[in-house]
Amino acid sequence: MSRSRRRGGRGPSRRRDKTGDARAAATQASQRRAERARITPTAYRRQRIVGWSLVVLGVAIGIQHLVSQMGFFQVISAGWDDLLVGYPIAAALGIAGSVVLSKA
C-alpha cells in the first residue's frame, strides 16, 4: 500500500509553492503599508492649499524683487532686499511649494 493511502490522502501530495507564498505575503504587506499611508481628503486639501500658497508667495516675492530692482518702488532698503527677500528666497519658496504639491 502506498504512503498516501495509509495516511488517508486522496492522491500524491502537492509541494508548496514557496515563491507564490512569498509573493502573496509581500503583496499583502505592501497593501497594509499603503492602507496606513493613505491620506484623508481633508489632509490632501490642506496639503494642496499649503503647497500653492508657498508657490504663490514665491512668485509674489520674485515679482516684488524684480520691480524693486527696476527702480519703480522700494519697500525696504536695497541691501536687505537682496539679502532677505531676493531671488533666493523666492526660489526656495517655489521649490518648497512644488515639493509639497508633489506629495499631494
The predicted structure's pLDDT at residue 67? 79
The string of pLDDT tens digits covering residues 17-31 is 888 888 888 888 888
Nearest Cα neighbor of 51 from 11, 4, 102 is 102
The predicted structure's pLDDT at residue 48? 87
Domain ranges of the chain: 40-103
Better pLDDT: 2 or 59: 59
The string of pLDDT tens digits covering residues 29-86 is 888 888 887 888 888 898 888 888 888 888 887 787 777 777 776 666 666 666 666 6
For residue 27, give the C-alpha cell.
Answer: 503583496
For residue 43, give the C-alpha cell.
Answer: 489632509
